Structure 1
């Protein structure tokens, strides 16, 4: 299937998303899962050690400083992820959405090196988390909670994680059926918060305060 940036947004509006079989695939499949993973912004949990890492500001966190590098690193193979669903076509489409202000990245830097981050697409008050990567321990997790703090502060309603994983479950992610998901999506589409750029990174203690995070062992 061949489509453009508008078609991609239309998929998200229907609760669907594209995935390729691998990095070099020439086509994508349209995924419409019966069960969907979401991370409720009012029900987040964080391990105590990770909360300390966030509070200590080990990483400098930026938004949209280098979207292209972030999605490229998300698409690279890693020891725990030998294959990727992000082919070059998806990468190009998401970059078009970024240029239109409909896709964003949250990036973690250590000594000016990009060592972790994530990117996703926004539609109304929904943020569709697409992928994340980490080259230093906890970097992608820190990016995730900085993202959550921004979404809460700006008034977003839905953080879609596509699928449910044990990794996300530890932070409070839940799985809901398609009907419940589409109801939440319709609510999110009816509002229009501004993601914002915020050139000054949030302090880690501010992130935890905004989220009012419940620490877990």
Structure 2
């Protein structure tokens, strides 16, 4: 008989994820340390870094509410090549001369607002009952569905030698790799700097925000 996971401690755990481990590895590590039921408010790919918001104990009942929060990212997009996954872990599909700055600015203008884009092949979306990333690892090529993604803010921070640094604020369910692919490149780096009212700067030493502090911040953000 399975032993039910504890509902205490309750709170929101802010983690600054390094590159390498999966988000689920981080969740399991925190769960193992606290012994409490633990969930997440949106995962990050292994190559990505930045803010993970984990929900501990009774806070897991609010997962849907946290999952709907907007997210902010900084990414370096390599516009010299597209890859099968939209990130540095995929195989190169094509190499080309990067866009000029004027061409890039024009492309960015067309990606603000609600934009329908293909979901990356290496994602958790189910295709015929199987996770897309598992099919991708098996070498199975499938036509990925599209999704309307909401891009509230998309700013060009710098552009040098074919590498564009972008600062984005996006709605839930938006794939930054899809945006990079639409620009003709791939995410060389990806860092999540915020989720709703929470910032990665707060995640030093995996800060725990008590639920009574987190909920008013959510209400203020709304």
* TM-score, scaled to structure 2: 0.26
* TM-score, scaled to structure 1: 0.27
Query: If each structure's helix is expressed as a fraction of its own residues, which one has the higher value?
Result: 1
Q: Indicate the structure (1 or 2) with the bigger Cα radius of gyration.
A: 2
